[in-house]
């Protein structure tokens, strides 16, 4: 019976047949065995893929001998991904080696303790080799793959270990380990993974990055790899890149509802919070969920897999059927944890500081890969010290230690570290705050306010009915005239009430916050921080998001990542109600239209005729 196979499968069979014939003695020619051209091409392609991928693999070493792991470079500036449990014993500073034989200082950037991801930045150059990212949703069980990393910290010569295998499964879900770590929609592989591989890359057979290696299963007594390893998908990591670059400690998303798989195979809501945005958008008990963020869901496991790859605070499209009607709406996702709860759980998951032996400066610390966190996390998979040969347990030289015993942080790294509660490294958040502030000011040229002067905006236009609209925004007062009615506000409390009532006065709150941010900047506006990148109304590309607290309100500015144009301002009076959304349309130099929305409903549209900016004396 004839069968059809793809070229790789056919080549595999031919190799197996050739080996069997050679073993059986059917071919004893003295001349070297010549491989068929298609087999030679496949082998050459594999060699090329390894050579293409290896420069982007990172060997991570914790100063002081507290362990280490692996990572992968994703930008020429030195940003790299690894595991949370790899960086946790190191704190904010570590050493990293590349296959070029050089060791680089590195600092922590951001943390995702729930998804076991961390971002670090290698220092010293701006042309680091970068991995090419694949689309992990296209990966299938049976695909070839390779893992490159630093198992048992064997890469003391900075030449990482390469293992080859298959993707054994995709879309796996691993329940939270201990108090925190959750692996959603992850990849399973039989490529050899051991302690020290954690945080490193898994590539496809073309050398493209599929994911970040994390968990692995081991036979408990013999400490033998049983061929079941897991990797965080690169698509999940892509969703979190902006959040991680913000220098924050970030959380994952939940719908604000629980689901179950019905007897007919559909996914239905089994419980829902009435305070959730999902409820406000029409989701109810027994509603059938069809898609989340463009992915079809057919089981409760599918729902958890999709949500587990999304950051909290994102707004994504959800398709559902309620009372026979199918709807597709953007829904704001809630966080899995409250802020203080996340920080508390993260602290509980951290290992104790690594011991630093009293040894001469020229001695190197001993380590065996990954952090001590992995003992609790991965069923006792941390190898014992005697498992690695003594000649292979050396990691790169440490910098000179401080009087307290911990390694001193080099000056070039120390200036990039700003430890602050709630942040992995506030320095990088401040960098992005400054960048967004500059974009806001460049889009809307204006003199920066001084103690003696401030700006006043006078905006005139027409509403959707053709009626005149006048908006007056300044420190001397706020007013809106539309349809012959004049509304005024003199303070943040009055603006809060307008937003809380879903009133059209919410446009004044958004405009005033915008004006104040341009004039004062993030440091004087009040508490402000860069949140990262997120969809706008459920649509990509991901927008930059700056957050500021204005009175009792939270304000978000969302800017297009390519043009830098401000597209929307969201003003929240209460997380349990819709924010005022001011959508801004411009041609790049002139603002043409303002549209005030609450939820999916447009409350006021203003076609702009004129926008005057006046300097007025401060009272």
pLDDT digits (tens, 9 = 90+) for 195-212: 889 999 999 999 999 999
CATH 2.50.20, domain 426-617, yes or no: yes
Task: Read off the tokens for 576.
Answer: 């349990």
Task: Read off the tokens for 487.
Answer: 């509304």
Reported as type and span, the H/E element at residue 516 is helix 506-525
The alpha carbon of residue 377 and the mean position of all alpha carbons in its chain are separated, in whole angstroms, by: 22
- pTM value > 0.95: no
Place of tokens 């144009």: 565
The DSSP output letter for 407 is B
Please state whether beta strands 144-149 and 209-219 pair in parallel, antiparallel, or not at all (unpaired). unpaired
The alpha carbon of residue 21 and the mean position of all alpha carbons in its chain are separated, in whole angstroms, by: 51
How is domain 253-333 classified at the CATH fold level? Pdz3 Domain (2.30.42)
Q: What does the pLDDT read at residue 508?
A: 96
**Within 13 Å, how many C-alpha atoms sit on residue 44's CB side?**
7
The alpha carbon of residue 329 and the mean position of all alpha carbons in its chain are separated, in whole angstroms, by: 23
Which of 47, 86, 53 is CA-nearest to residue 160? 53
Q: In Å, what is the CA distance from 194 to each residue of 151, 190, 368, 597, 601? A: 5, 11, 10, 52, 53
Distance, CA of 556 to CA of 571 (rounded, Å): 7
Q: What does the pLDDT read at residue 400?
A: 40
Q: What does the pLDDT read at residue 382?
A: 37
Place of tokens 């270990």: 161
Q: What does the pLDDT read at residue 453?
A: 59
Low-confidence ranges of the chain (pLDDT < 50): 1-5, 13, 23, 27-28, 355-368, 371-406, 451
Angle between helices 37-53 and 7-24 (to 10 degrees): 110
Q: What does the pLDDT read at residue 218?
A: 61
- What lies within 8 Å, CB to CB, of 353 at 6+ separation is 66, 89, 406
Distance, CA of 431 to CA of 79 (rounded, Å): 15
Distance, CA of 378 to CA of 563 (rounded, Å): 44
Angle between helices 506-525 and 492-500 (to 10 degrees): 130
Q: What does the pLDDT read at residue 411?
A: 94
Task: Read off the tokens for 499.
Answer: 């937003």
Distance, CA of 359 to CA of 203 (rounded, Å): 39
Question: So which residues are the catalytic ones?
Answer: 85, 116, 198
Q: What does the pLDDT read at residue 515?
A: 93
Residue 247 burial by Cβ neighbours in a 10 Å radius (0-12, 13-18, 19+)? buried
Q: Which CATH number fits domain 136-236: 3.40.50.920, 2.40.10.10, 2.120.10.30, 1.10.3210.10?
A: 2.40.10.10
Strands (E), 263-413: 267-272, 288-292, 295-296, 315-322, 325-332, 334-335
SS3 content of the chain, % helix, strand, coil (to 5): 25, 40, 40
Q: Are 519 and 455 in contact (CB under 8 A)?
A: yes
């Amino acid at each position: 019976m004839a069968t059809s196979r793809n070229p790789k499968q056919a080549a595999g069979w031919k190799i197996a047949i050739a080996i069997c014939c050679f073993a059986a003695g059917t071919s004893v020619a003295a001349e070297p065995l010549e491989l068929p051209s298609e087999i030679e091409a496949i082998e050459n392609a594999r060699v090329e893929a390894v050579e293409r991928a290896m420069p982007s693999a990172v060997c991570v070493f914790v100063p002081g001998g507290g362990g280490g792991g692996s990572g992968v470079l994703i930008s020429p500036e030195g940003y790299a991904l690894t595991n949370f449990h790899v960086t946790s014993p190191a704190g904010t500073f570590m050493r990293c080696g590349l296959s070029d034989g050089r060791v680089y200082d590195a600092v922590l950037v951001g943390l995702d303790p729930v998804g076991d991801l961390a971002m670090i930045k290698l220092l010293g150059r701006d042309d680091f080799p970068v991995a090419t990212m694949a689309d992990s949703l296209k990966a299938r069980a049976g695909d070839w793959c390779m893992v490159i990393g630093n198992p048992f910290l064997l890469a003391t010569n900075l030449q990482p270990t390469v293992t080859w295998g298959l993707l054994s499964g995709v879309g796996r879900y691993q329940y939270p380990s201990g108090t925190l770590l959750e692996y959603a929609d992850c990849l399973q592989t039989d490529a050899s993974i051991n302690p020290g591989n954690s945080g490193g890359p898994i590539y496809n057979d073309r050398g493209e990055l599929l994911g970040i290696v994390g968990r692995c299963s081991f036979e408990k007594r013999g400490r033998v790899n049983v061929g079941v390893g897991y990797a965080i998908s690169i698509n999940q990591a892509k969703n979190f890149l902006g959040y991680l670059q913000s220098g924050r400690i970030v959380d994952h998303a939940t719908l604000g509802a629980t689901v179950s798989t019905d007897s007919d195979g559909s996914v239905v809501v089994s419980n829902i919070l009435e305070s959730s945005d999902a409820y406000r958008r029409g989701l109810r008990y027994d509603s059938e969920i069809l898609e989340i963020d463009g992915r079809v869901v057919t089981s409760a496991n599918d729902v958890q897999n999709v949500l587990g790859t999304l950051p909290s605070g994102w707004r994504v499209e959800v398709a559902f059927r309620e009372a026979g009607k199918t709807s597709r709406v953007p829904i704001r996702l809630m966080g899995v944890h409250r802020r203080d709860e996340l920080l508390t759980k993260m602290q509980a998951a951290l290992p104790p500081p690594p011991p630093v032996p009293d040894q001469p400066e020229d001695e190197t610390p001993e380590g065996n890969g990954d952090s001590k966190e992995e003992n609790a996390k991965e069923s006792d998979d941390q190898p014992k010290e005697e498992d690695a040969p003594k000649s292979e347990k050396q990691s790169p030289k440490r910098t000179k230690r401080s009087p307290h015993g911990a390694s001193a942080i080099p000056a070039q790294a120390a200036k990039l570290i700003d430890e602050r509660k709630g942040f992995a490294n506030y320095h990088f958040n401040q960098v992005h705050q400054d960048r967004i502030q500059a974009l806001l000011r460049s889009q809307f040229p204006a003199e920066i306010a001084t103690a003696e002067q401030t700006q006043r905006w006078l905006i005139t236009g027409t509403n959707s009915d053709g009626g005149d609209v006048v908006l007056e925004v300044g420190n001397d007062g706020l007013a809106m005239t539309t349809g012959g009615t004049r509304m005024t506000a003199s303070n943040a409390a009055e603006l809060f009430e307008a937003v809380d009532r879903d009133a059209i006065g919410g446009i004044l709150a958004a405009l005033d916050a915008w004006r104040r941010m341009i004039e004062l900047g993030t440091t004087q506006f009040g508490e402000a921080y860069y949140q990262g990148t997120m969809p706008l109304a459920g649509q990509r590309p991901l927008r930059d998001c700056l957050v500021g607290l204005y009175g009792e309100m939270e304000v978000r500015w969302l800017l297009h990542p390519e043009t830098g144009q401000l597209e929307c301002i969201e003003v929240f009076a209460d997380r349990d109600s819709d924010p005022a959304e001011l959508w801004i349309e411009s041609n790049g130099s002139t603002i043409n239209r303002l549209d005030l929305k609450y939820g999916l409903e447009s409350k006021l549209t203003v076609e702009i005729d004129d926008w005057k900016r006046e300097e007025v004396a401060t009272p």
